[in-house]
Chains A and B, each alone.
Chain A
Amino acid sequence: MSAPNPYLDDLSKGIIKENPVFRMLLGMCPVLGVTGYFINGLGMGLAATAVLIASNVVIAALKNFIPPQVRIPCFIVVIATFVTIIEMVLQAFQPVLYEALGVFVPLIVVNCVILGRAEAFASKKPVLRALVDGVGVGLGFTLALGILALVREVAGQGTIMGPDPESAILLFGQGFQPMGLFGQPPGAFIALGLLLGLTNVIFKKFNI
């Protein structure tokens, strides 16, 4: 066995071992809120990933400049800046996704995954490792949102790639009556609970 590569470790632990949704249960608000459709879940995950990577890098780069007493306000300003940039860019170039994500885009500011990584990792580590950590955790978050959204969309709508009727694929034919509950907020809790149980079983089995 070669010596463990810290970058590879940073990358993989965000996706599996410390998956923000399945293992740490952080940032649950968008997880439950925008996972009605796969596209929306994916879009939210990628938007949060972009903010996470950018804020991780900037905070790691500024860690010697920011005094510890005011680090939280500084982190929040940095995160809010990137969120607002993402919001404006989405509104300009991805209006459909922007409409679908609605209030959850500005709410990325208070997503505790991002502040959590800033506080626990980026503010203590070199820039490059913070970048890799951002990518890893972001991918883990996106993956979790994607899986949950896929489950909810298939069960709740009977489609994938909706809600745009042009791209939506009807999985079970026209006569299929989907379980509307899974499209609603309570269904998000139920689907998330089932997925958490499933991932716990899998993690236990493979001793992760």
Chain B
Amino acid sequence: MREVMRLSITLAVVAIVSAALLTGVHNVTEPVIREREQQEYLEALERFFPALDDFETEEINGDQFDLVYDQDGEKLGVMAAVQTQGYEGTITYNLAVDAEAEIIGILVVSHSETPGIGDVITTDNFQEQFIGKSFEDPLEAGEDVDTVSGATISTEAMIGSIRRTVTTIGENFLGKERQAFGLEDLTDGVYRGSVEGTYGDLVVEVEFRDGRIQAIEVIEQNETEAYFMEVYPEIPEKIIEEQELAVDVQSGATLSAERIVAAVRNALEGAPEGEGGDN
């Protein structure tokens, strides 16, 4: 018994001394690191907005948004400091958009993606495809921007996060509005649509009758099980309840949720099945 006590106490003492040392060093280095990060952020702001004179910081859902103004108080655009979940950890990046909600710059601040694979998100080649895209563009993988094969998860995470950020900025700071999807002109019938997922297609069938979406069924999906369970059937139920596609998708499974919405949109954009016309 005494032996056990001696071992535990030794370990505890070593651990306590270690913790004390680390706390001390942390207190010294922390302000230096913070200050440099702030410095770098300011430099990025000035690089993306050369006419910068003043900025104002706002926070939405934990992400930081800086509204940038020039000398005359004219709004130049917004820079966001965003965190998103990558393949191996958190990706932190800055996204700058101008007053027209057009992307003018992306700067990955920190990430822990696989060296040589997922770290393509830091390359100009990957980032350049976003420059000039705006709030009006779909910003969807495979439509107007591309994932990088071999690094699908990392690049798709970036694409999704950039799309959400541009949407948030556009709606909150630049007075833009997504056009609501018009359900009025649809004819009754069953619509089928699909989107590409990380591991395969996601296919839905949407039943539309009497001017309302009556039912949404996922016919095929290859999503990560745990994520999919989190959003199904919740997201389809929400769409049916609200009768619109712009439902909130705040959950830990944003990609799966967005794919369901995109598949429903894809379905309703086509013609109903059985009534001809769909290719």
Interface residues of A (CB under 8 A from B): 33, 62, 65-67, 69-70, 73-74, 77-78, 80-81, 84-85, 88-89, 91-93, 95, 102-103, 184-185
* Chain A residues near B33 (CB-CB < 8 A): 88, 91-92
A92 touches B14 (CB 8 A): no
A125-B28 Cα distance, complex, nearest whole Å = 33
B240 at the interface (CB under 8 A from A): no
B112 at the interface (CB under 8 A from A): yes
22 sampled A-B residue pairs with Cβ under 8 A: A33-B115, A62-B14, A65-B10, A67-B10, A70-B7, A70-B10, A73-B11, A74-B11, A77-B11, A81-B22, A84-B25, A88-B26, A88-B29, A88-B30, A88-B33, A89-B25, A89-B29, A92-B28, A92-B33, A93-B32, A184-B116, A185-B116
Per-residue contact bits, chain B 29-64, to A (CB 8 Å; 1 contact, 0 not):
110110010000000000000000000000000000
Instruction: Tell me, rounded to whole Å, the shortest Cβ–Cβ distance linking A178 to chain B.
Output: 17
Instruction: Tell me, rounded to whole Å, the shortest Cβ–Cβ distance linking B107 to chain A.
Output: 13
Interface residues of B (CB under 8 A from A): 6-7, 10-11, 14-15, 18, 21-22, 25-26, 28-30, 32-33, 36, 112, 115-116
Pick from A33, A65, A85, A95: contact of B22, CB under 8 Å: A85
Name the CB-closest residue of B to A65.
B10
* Chain A residues near B36 (CB-CB < 8 A): 92, 95
A85 touches B21 (CB 8 A): yes
Chain B residues touching A, majority SS:
helix
* Chain A residues near B32 (CB-CB < 8 A): 92-93
A57-B7 Cα distance, complex, nearest whole Å = 22
Most buried by B among A69, A88, A91, A93: A88
* Chain A residues near B25 (CB-CB < 8 A): 84-85, 88-89
Instruction: Tell me, rounded to whole Å, the shortest Cβ–Cβ distance linking B244 to chain A.
Output: 44
* Chain A residues near B28 (CB-CB < 8 A): 92
B14 touches A74 (CB 8 A): yes
* Chain A residues near B112 (CB-CB < 8 A): 102-103
B18 touches A80 (CB 8 A): yes
B11 touches A70 (CB 8 A): yes
* Chain B residues near A65 (CB-CB < 8 A): 10
A203-B18 Cα distance, complex, nearest whole Å = 41
A81 touches B116 (CB 8 A): no
A81-B10 Cα distance, complex, nearest whole Å = 16
* Chain A residues near B6 (CB-CB < 8 A): 67
A66 touches B10 (CB 8 A): yes
Instruction: Tell me, rounded to whole Å, the shortest Cβ–Cβ distance linking B10 to chain A.
Output: 6
Instruction: Tell me, rounded to whole Å, the shortest Cβ–Cβ distance linking A144 to chain B.
Output: 21
B26 touches A77 (CB 8 A): no
A184-B21 Cα distance, complex, nearest whole Å = 38
Instruction: Tell me, rounded to whole Å, the shortest Cβ–Cβ distance linking B28 to chain A.
Output: 8
Most buried by B among A33, A66, A78, A85: A85
Name the CB-closest residue of A to B111.
A102
| Known contacts A78-B18, A80-B18, A84-B22; A92 and B10 CB within 8 A of each other | no
A81 touches B21 (CB 8 A): yes
A81-B26 Cα distance, complex, nearest whole Å = 12
Shortest 3 CB-CB distances between A and B: which pairs? A92-B29, A92-B32, A81-B18
